[in-house]
Amino acid sequence: MFTAKFWGVRGSIPSPLTPSAVEEKVKQALQGLISHQFRASDVLFDITAKDHLVSVPFWQRATYGGNTSCVEVRCGEEIIVLDLGSGLRLFGNSIFGDMMKKGGLAISFLLSHVHWDHIQGIPFFGPLYINKETGIRNSWSFYGGTNYIETAEACLRGQMDHPVFPVSWKEIKAITHKMHTDSLYDRKAFSVGDAHIKTRKLNHPQETYGWRIEYNGKVLVYTTDNEPYDPMCPDPRLLDLTKDADVWITDCQYTKDIYEGKVGGVPRHGWGHSYPEAVAKTAVLAGVKHTALFHHDPGSSDKQIYDIEGVCGALVRQDQKVSAAHEGMEITL
Ligand SMILES: [Zn+2]
Ligand SMILES: [Zn+2]
């Protein structure tokens, strides 16, 4: 079994739905029901409402989610977590039962980089606080870059130092059965169980890495926080990673107009993020089967993310799939 599940899909900062955005969704859903001539006294309320909701576009009836980057990957029994954004809190809640039943879990955490939206979930990852003296033997392996001003571990430690957080990294290490940090660098290849992982450097204002994970004859690629050098001539490192991928999870934070500063304020050149035209170009050249757009801008509404998906989807081949990732979305390779 080779799967990916999204726990956080936003970039930069958590961005929960505002009350007015929820109100607007409810209003539009009710307007849709009224146009179906639904009567409140109808005994078929549940069926009618459910039938109606299925016909409402995803951006209108739900939300892509406001948590920052975190994707759970399962390669058979192996658990790999890509980035530790605020979505990590929900992932942590989801594994408690399994952790207690098995007497502990081993997880490999891969850090693309240490900008806050990729590490801020770790202080709220519940299983981190389970003391080995309870008999639960958890094993955490962190993989991060080598050339930050601080090491990856120092960055994780720093956001939990007093006085900004009440429990220190040192205290966490003392109660955990096993914890270690490994280094990442361009072209590093390593294995987690039977999953083979290749690392390539991306284009972002900090040392940032993407991964190609191969398992059971299938390929999953994750490249978040990446800006195209030239949208018409994709970065060879990116093509190297994405070649013939079954699933490519990629940064697609802006629209092209926002990236170029035609709308929404200043141009985003040099901010380290991508847009649908550039993503589609790479997807076509690399022959990616399914491209999952990710790291949505905190300022994008659900409708804007849906539109970005539409723009990208129209530029790839017909046999290629594009979807905007949302919290809870699962992909089986
Ligand atoms: Zn980011
Ligand atoms: Zn970043």
Cα(113) to centroid of ligand 2, in Å? Answer: 7
Cα distance between residue 41 and residue 311, in whole Å: 42
Angle at CA of residue 19, ends 15 and 22, nearest 5°: 90
Cα(41) to centroid of ligand 1, in Å? Answer: 48
Cα(114) to centroid of ligand 2, in Å? Answer: 7
- Tell me the CA distances in angstroms from 324 to 57, 189, 235, one per residue in order: 13, 29, 22
Task: Fold for 2-14+64-326, please state it.
Answer: Metallo-beta-lactamase; Chain A (3.60.15)
Determine the pLDDT at residue 76.
Answer: 96
- CA dihedral sign of residues 58, 59, 60, 63: positive
- Tell me the CA distances in angstroms from 312 to 114, 235, 255, 315, 324, one per residue in order: 28, 18, 10, 5, 10
Closest ligand relative to 11 C-alpha: 1
Determine the pLDDT at residue 60.
Answer: 87
Contacts of residue 264, Cβ cutoff 8 Å, sequence gap at least 6: 257, 258, 299
Strand order in the sheet with 290-294: 189-192, 195-201, 209-215, 218-223, 247-251, 290-294, 321-324
Other CB atoms within a 10 A radius of the CB of residue 88 amount to 29
pTM: 0.94
Cα(188) to centroid of ligand 1, in Å? Answer: 22
Q: Where are the domains of the chain?
A: 2-14+64-326, 19-61
Cα(33) to centroid of ligand 1, in Å? Answer: 38
Determine the pLDDT at residue 175.
Answer: 96
Angle at CA of residue 312, ends 298 and 285, nearest 5°: 125
Cα(11) to centroid of ligand 1, in Å? Answer: 5
Question: Please, are residues 282 and 236 in contact by the beta-carbon 8 Å criterion?
Answer: no
* 139-145 vs 106-110, strand pairing mode: parallel
Cα(36) to centroid of ligand 2, in Å? Answer: 45
Which residues of the chain register pLDDT less than 50? Answer: none
Cα distance between residue 225 and residue 206, in whole Å: 9
